[in-house]
Amino acid sequence: MTTSIKTLEKNRLRASVYYYKNKEAINQKKKEYYYSHKDEIYAKRKEYYKNRYLNKKYEIQKKSRIFHKERRDRIIKYLGGKCVRCGFNDNRALQVDHINGGGLKERRDTPHFCNAKFENMIYSDTHKYQLLCANCNNIKKYENGEFFKK
């Protein structure tokens, strides 16, 4: 193994020495190649960036989906993991509820509101929030007349 690494290094050194000695000729050749294959190079480059962007896009979407799910699980676990009214405990239908209402106002009044901020708000003021399942949350909204307030 060590010998092959040494050979590799030697080759690399030889290549860089060669490049240094023939710099102008090499660059001239590169330039010529570039001008004669311009369209081809542009097309390839475009394709490369397009693919890279698409790959990255899906990667980012996938990561952020996992990230959101983890944050959601974390918050739900922190708030007790079940609906405070009926005990329903399926994460998919659990919602964070503002005990005294005003969720929308809070969202509007908080500059640059985002889920990360919301998570910190929950941790810093637990008494303001509770977990409700979708059913209980809707019933509560109905009871409080929040459906008609805007």
Contact residues toward Zn ion (CB under 5 A) are: 83, 85-86, 88, 133, 136
Coil/strand/helix, residue 113: coil
Cβ nearer to Zn ion, comparing 9 with 90:
90
Coil/strand/helix, residue 96: strand
Q: Minimal distance in Å, beta carbon 79 to Zn ion?
A: 13
Q: Minimal distance in Å, beta carbon 93 to Zn ion?
A: 9
Q: Is 94 exposed, middle or buried (0-12, 13-18, 19+ CB in 10 A)?
A: buried
Cβ nearer to Zn ion, comparing 13 with 86:
86
Lookup result for tokens 């190079």? 41
Cβ nearer to Zn ion, comparing 83 with 96:
83
Calculate the CA 26 to chain-centre distance: 43
Q: Minimal distance in Å, beta carbon 132 to Zn ion?
A: 6
